[in-house]
Structure 1
Amino acid sequence: MTQAEYRASSPTESAPLLSPSTARPIYSQATPATPADTPLVKDASEQRSQADVIWILAGLWSAVFLGALDGTIVATLMTPIGNYFNKSNDAPYIGTSYLLSVCCFTPLYGRLSDVLGRKGAMLIALTFFGFGTILCGFASSMNMLIAARAIAGMGGGGVMTVASIAVTDLIPLKQRGLYQGLGNILFGLGAGLGGPLGGWINDSFGWRAAFLFQAPILAFSVTLVSIKVNIPLSADLQSRSISERLRRMDFLGSATLAGTVGALLLGFSLKESEQLSWTNPLIWSLFVASVVSAILFVLVETRWAHMPILPLRLITQRTPLAVCLTNFFCSIASFSVVYNVPLYFSAVRMASSTNAGLHLLPHSIALSTGSIFAGWIMRHTARFYYLTLCSALLSVVSTAMVAFWNDSTASWHLWFDIVPQGLGVASIITSTLIAIIAGVAKADVAIATGITYLFRTTGQVLGVSLSGTVLQAVLLNKLRARIHGPDAEQIITSIRHSTDVIASLDPERQVAAIASYADALRVVFICQTVLNFLAFLCTLPIEENPLPGTLEAQEEQFRRNLEAQRRQEVDT
């Protein structure tokens, strides 16, 4: 019997999602075992009052706001925490542990929201995030604090993912982009307030209070989610016990995926933070472990997993693959910009930290307005393809202009050349999320959303670590070529570790240090341009699908997508 005949004749094609069955190696990568008329979530067209929708969004977005607030609060606290424990050299791991945990656990929440429901998955995410955050406030050592941030990251990735999935259940795709933009504004507001708020709390009450004060906001979010986020699953899923649903979770796939992503990102992060060589046994062993985990992950997903955590049949489709790669390259470039543009003003223009940070303000405003603008365009045109292409080109042009910065660059260029990057990135993130949702079946919406967040967060971590690695490699080479003498290596090391040293150098070495930083950052900026161009190329294969204006039309489109997917699988 051929694979196509097997799929056509198998009785499981119409079986309930959670009906008992034996392992089906071929079917595990086929269309989800959910008939077209039985969505994982009940028909989203059931009427909800405007007040109910507002309360649901308030519960979801308050959690998103808290996650963003926490991120910048912690960034502000790393120096005082390092000083408190007398381990400033380990302070960067506070952020690294959180981001690594987010990357490893983000994909789990797509499937978890299908098994336990949107409310259940969000409450689990908030529980991990809250427990880890409060544990940070009582940490007795730097190692305990790093571990607590990792626990918080186990929930932090799920907060954004589940919130996005739940909004898709409530809002038609034609308006979905606009609501995504509104959510991004709250995220940006939280990120913007976190820095000054964290600094004020630290100065007034100590760094522990900055973690503990988040508990009331967390309690507010948990209460709203518990009471208001009622998006019911199908009758079949509701009839199953929690233990039955959890037994269908792909825990082996989750473990191997976490090993793949975690080992890869940890290798790059340690290479940059500890300045280890590529031949260091720890670095290459982590990369080997990542490759081994990746091979095991593919075997698990294709041969054994009944409900794969990341279905390979989905990620190999044209639009989902293009969207994932676009988000990946775009996120690497975007986070490289955020971390290296302030460094340019500190090390090359010799500006104060405050002034360097202010140069990111237009970029931050552009990130918020870009999402709203993209949502407004999609709402009025019901199209996203050319919007995505133009947004990707904006990012390419922006980073190219930044790469040409020099001593004679006009002041207004230094303030506004990164604005198109912010507009482009925000628009791309919004439009590609809509693109992948519009092209999949209802049963794949949660998984597809989780996949985009996985590629996005992975790109964010790599954007910081890879740009740091490139910067330090070029900077070391340039400094050694320009600075000589018996104390040269000591001076070079101090310049690489802190830009504050530059102001205290003699004029000749100061000029050499500034020129070396300028050369190294120019290479990083050129790499950002190349990455944005790759993101543009990845947007080209994205398919234009209709954006339904009502939830009823959206349900119908999901059914058509499912039928088209099944026909394609039979044909192949």
Structure 2
Amino acid sequence: MRSRDWPPSETSPLLSSPRDLRADDVPATPSPTSPDPAVIHVSRADLVWILVGLWSPVFLGALDGTIVATLMTPIGNYFNKSNQASYIGTSYLLSVCCFTPLYGRLSDILGRRGAMLLGLTLFGAGTICCGIAPSMETLIAARAVAGMGGGGIMTVSSVTLTDLVPLKQRGLYQGLANIMFGLGSGIGGPLGGWMNDTFGWRSAFLFQIPVLAFSFVLVLLKVSVPISQEVKNQSLYSKMRRMDFAGSATLAITIGCLLLGFSIQSSESLPWSHPLIYGLFITSAVFAVLFAAVEAWWAPYPVMPFHLITQRTPLAVCMSNFFGSMAAFITIYNVPLYFSAVRLNSSTDTGLHLLPHSIALSTGSVFAGWIMRRTGKLYTLTLVSAALAVCSSIQIAMWSENSSQWHLWVDIVPQGFGMASVITSTLIALIACVSKTDVAVATGITYLFRTTGQVLGVSLSGTLLQSILLSKLRQRIHGPNAEEVISFPSRVHSTDEVKLLDPVLRKLAIESYADALRVVFICQLVLNVLALLSCTAIQENPLP
């Protein structure tokens, strides 16, 4: 692409720029002080305010994720529907999975500011509704609305940063963004637990609104990245063709029906042969085929181009991100349950146990970037990082009533550190193996596999947990009123009520939770092993 062709045409990738100049288009030795023509130049003060506006919702999104992971148990207890608590995380992640791929194209149509404001509005509206939700069903729906904006916040902030920061400084700013994300993840657990114990769980949602309003004003006033003239002059129909609505819709139905089939079978104790259950699975399979057909032959700008994921390294990166994200979110959503249901800790103590994991997430990403910059290599780093996650999963699966406090605090750290490093190194491996024109699309595919893995990890682990828990309770609790005790939501299905049971029943309930969670953690171990095996297929390419 020549510099006179900037802004990009409709067929140009979102993140392509005059950095892709051919060798004969520029002097052989450009001046080191020459400004990067791809960058929108703003003053230092304006850049600071823009970064505050972009990163504060990123920080809040990370904070919100760990807050909700900590509060799932108290919220389930409040509504006496602990068996539906996993839907709180699933609904949000499913929305993120379906709407994130659309925001890249949407930011070309509405502009960076318009797309960011849309994401902030949806995330804020959903968060407000979460804080005032009168029922579990309303709360789950509100989390889905928040997810429609949450995915866009992460995507558009990253794209806008690329518009404003020179390429040679991009790594530094990405490191700062990762620190903000890690900080939000780190304090979200203990903050959510403290707010629940002090003010109630609703306050953990409502306190986010002033921060979102502040960010909205900053983005509205400061973010000004012009839309390319060619896109601006296009008809509405041409602009809308850039959005893969059909692909996103068929993907949403595929994943949604699959998750509902597993979740309803577990929560409602329906047999696998029930028409509703196999009907949902058949619908999921049909729409999976339709999704593949849409991406291969219909969508002019598919969210998952098959010509990329059929290559060796992109496929290996996608698979490692998929399995690794499933394992990571099983950790985030089930470790707090272990401390609340098995150790009977308070919400504050439960949240604090996520703090080392969150710190490891931010430091793992920075460490991977530093190693790759120093060595120019990533293959060994990727395998060692994935192996760290496997070792952590082994330790977590071995937790028992005899485990020392030292293990309960430290064993989770290698999972966060290793998986953050894997996510970072595999993204660089992907960028290094595809052409410059495919970088933006390939990066979007990795986010799609990550979010799909996240939503499946949360939902399927919740389904497995409930199924095994119910089975173990029926094995252990006998007598004329046994089924009433087992199935009544405000008894053993509420971890707060477990503390109030008589000592014999409490011991049986705790043992059942421990057995169910151990199976979940073993599944997490299997997923981390699959992620490690996927990483072995990644090719080592020179890093510029």
In structure 2, what residue type is equivalent to 1:475?
L
Q: Using the alignment, how far apart are the partners of 2:134 and 2:476 within structure 1?
A: 45
| Cα gap change, 1:445 to 1:158, in 2 (>3 Å) | farther
Q: Which runs of 5+ in 1 are unaligned?
A: 1-15, 20-30, 549-572
Pairing 1:527–2:523 present: yes
- Of 275, 278, 282, which residue of structure 2 is paired with 1:281? 275
| Cα gap change, 1:151 to 1:439, in 2 (>3 Å) | same
Q: Using the alignment, how far apart are the partners of 1:229 and 1:385 within structure 2?
A: 38
Partner of 1:551: none
Residue range with higher mean Cα deviation, 77-86 or 507-516: 77-86
Q: How does 1:408-427 map to 2 (within 5 A)?
A: 408-427=402-421
Matched length? 521
Does the residue aligned with 2:403 lie in a helix, a strand or coil? Answer: coil
Partner of 2:56: 62
Pairing 1:395–2:383 present: no
Displacement after TM superposition at 1:532 (Å): 0.3
Does the residue aligned with 1:409 lie in a helix, a strand or coil? Answer: coil
Partner of 2:371: 377
Partner of 1:265: 259
| Cα gap change, 1:352 to 1:384, in 2 (>3 Å) | same
Displacement after TM superposition at 1:102 (Å): 1.6
Does the residue aligned with 1:521 lie in a helix, a strand or coil? Answer: helix
Contact 2:192 2:351 in 1 (8 A): no
Contact 2:126 2:146 in 1 (8 A): yes
Partner of 1:484: 478
In structure 1, what residue type is equivalent to 2:533?
L
Partner of 1:539: 535
Displacement after TM superposition at 1:36 (Å): 9.6
Q: How does 1:294-313 map to 2 (within 5 A)?
A: 294-313=288-307
Does the residue aligned with 2:539 lie in a helix, a strand or coil? Answer: coil
Q: How does 1:140-179 map to 2 (within 5 A)?
A: 145-169=139-163, 176=170, 179=173
Displacement after TM superposition at 1:34 (Å): 12
Displacement after TM superposition at 1:252 (Å): 2.1
Contact 1:347 1:517 in 2 (8 A): yes
| Cα gap change, 1:421 to 1:78, in 2 (>3 Å) | closer
Partner of 2:285: 291
Cα distance per residue 1:158-212 (max 9 Å; x no partner): 1112223344455677765554443233223334445666677778888777655
Contact 2:94 2:252 in 1 (8 A): no
Partner of 1:567: none
Q: Using the alignment, how far apart are the partners of 1:322 and 1:234 within structure 2?
A: 35
Contact 1:81 1:91 in 2 (8 A): yes
Does the residue aligned with 1:107 lie in a helix, a strand or coil? Answer: helix
Q: Using the alignment, how far apart are the partners of 1:468 and 1:135 within structure 2?
A: 24
In structure 2, what residue type is equivalent to 1:524?
V
- Of 317, 335, 339, which residue of structure 1 is paired with 2:333? 339
In structure 2, what residue type is equivalent to 1:470?
L
Partner of 1:498: 494
Contact 1:75 1:95 in 2 (8 A): yes
Cα distance per residue 1:75-133 (max 9 Å; x no partner): 67778877988988766655443232222212222333355444443233223223333
| Cα gap change, 1:541 to 1:77, in 2 (>3 Å) | closer
Q: Which runs of 5+ in 2 are unaligned?
A: 1-7, 22-35
Pairing 1:463–2:457 present: yes
Cα distance per residue 1:390-426 (max 9 Å; x no partner): 1101000111122223344343222211111111112
Residue range with higher mean Cα deviation, 65-74 or 366-375: 65-74
Partner of 1:249: 243
In structure 1, what residue type is equivalent to 2:287?
S
Residue range with higher mean Cα deviation, 469-478 or 136-145: 136-145
In structure 1, what residue type is equivalent to 2:537?
P
Does the residue aligned with 1:106 lie in a helix, a strand or coil? Answer: helix
Displacement after TM superposition at 1:18 (Å): 3.8
Displacement after TM superposition at 1:533 (Å): 0.7
Contact 1:392 1:532 in 2 (8 A): yes
Q: Using the alignment, how far apart are the partners of 1:493 and 1:140 within structure 2?
A: 23
After superposition, the CA RMSD in angstroms is 3.9
Please report the TM-score for the alignment, with normalisation by the length of structure 2.
0.81
Partner of 2:5: none
In structure 2, what residue type is equivalent to 1:537?
L
